[in-house]
Amino acid sequence: MKDAMNPGTISYGDKAAQAVWRLRRLPEIADGLKVGVAYRQAAARDEKNGFPFTAAAKWQKAAELLSPIPQVSDRCWQEWERIMHLPRRFAVPII
Residues 22, 18: Cα–Cα separation, whole Å: 6
Report if residue 81 sits inside a domain.
yes
DSSP conformation class of 67: T
Alpha helices in 1-95 (DSSP H): 12-48, 52-65, 70-84
pTM for the predicted model, two decimal places: 0.72
Residues 32, 73: Cα–Cα separation, whole Å: 12
Q: What total number of domains does the chain contain?
A: 1
**Mean pLDDT for the stretch of residues 43-66:** 96
DSSP conformation class of 27: H
How high is the pLDDT of residue 59? 96
| Whether 88 contacts 60, CB under 8 Å | no
Range of the domain at 54: 29-91
How high is the pLDDT of residue 4? 54
pLDDT in tens, 2-41: 555 555 555 566 888 887 877 888 888 889 899 999 999 9
Report if residue 22 sits inside a domain.
no
CA dihedral 54, 57, 62, 65 (to 10 degrees): -140
Residues 63, 73: Cα–Cα separation, whole Å: 4
Report if residue 21 sits inside a domain.
no
